[in-house]
Amino acid sequence: MTTSSQQNSESTARPLDFLLIGVPRAGTTSLFHYLRAHPQVYMPLEKEVPYFSWDDRFERGWDVFFSEYFAKAPDDALIGKMTPQYWGQQKVLDRLKATMPDVRLLVVFRNPVDRALSHYRLSFRDHAELPPFEEAIRDNSEYVDLGRYGTHYENLLRSFPQEQVLPLFTDDFDQPDQVIDRVLEFLGLPTGYRPGNLGKRYNRSGGAQRFPWLVAAVRNNPVLRTMWRAIPKRRRRIIKAIYNSELSVHKDELPPIPQDVRERLVADYLPEMRRLEQLIGRQVPWEELRADASTSTSDR
**Contact between residue 86 and residue 22 where contact means Cβ atoms under 8 Å apart:** yes
What pLDDT is stored for residue 236 in this prediction? 61
How many angstroms separate the CA atoms of 122 and 143, rounded?
11
What pLDDT is stored for residue 16 in this prediction? 98
Q: How far is CA 40 from the centre of its chain?
A: 21
DSSP 55-78: HHHHHH-HHHHHHHHSTT--TTSE
Give the amino acid at 174. D
How many angstroms separate the CA atoms of 43 and 32, rounded?
8
Local structure of 163: helix, strand or coil: helix
pTM: 0.81
What pLDDT is stored for residue 47 in this prediction? 76
149-159 vs 90-99: helix axis angle to the nearest 10? Answer: 20
What pLDDT is stored for residue 46 in this prediction? 80
Q: What is the mean pLDDT of each run of 10 residues along the chain (300 residues)?
A: 42 92 91 92 88 96 95 95 95 97 98 94 72 90 96 98 97 94 97 88 54 57 68 63 53 74 96 97 95 53
What pLDDT is stored for residue 212 in this prediction? 54
**Contact between residue 270 and residue 288 where contact means Cβ atoms under 8 Å apart:** no
Determine phi and psi for 171, rounding to 5 degrees. -65, -25
Q: How far is CA 55 from the centre of its chain?
A: 20
What pLDDT is stored for residue 85 in this prediction? 93
291-298 vs 259-280: helix axis angle to the nearest 10? Answer: 130
What is the CB neighbour count within 10 angstroms for residue 246?
Answer: 13
Determine phi and psi for 253, rounding to 5 degrees. -85, 155
**Contact between residue 277 and residue 162 where contact means Cβ atoms under 8 Å apart:** no
Query: Domains in the chain, start-ordered, CATH in brackets?
Result: 4-210+248-298 (3.40.50.300)
How many angstroms separate the CA atoms of 105 and 118, rounded?
23
How many angstroms separate the CA atoms of 126 and 94, rounded?
35
What pLDDT is stored for residue 4 in this prediction? 42
Determine phi and psi for 12, rounding to 5 degrees. -110, 10
What is the CB neighbour count within 10 angstroms for residue 105?
Answer: 21
Give the amino acid at 25. R
Which is nearest to 183 in space by CA: 200, 167, 201, 162? 167
∠ CA 297-277-284, rounded to 5°:
65
Contacts of 33 (CB under 8 A, 6+ apart): 195, 197, 200, 202
In 161-180, which positions are buried (b, 16+ CB within 10 angstroms) versus exposed (e)? eeebbbbbbbebbeebeebb
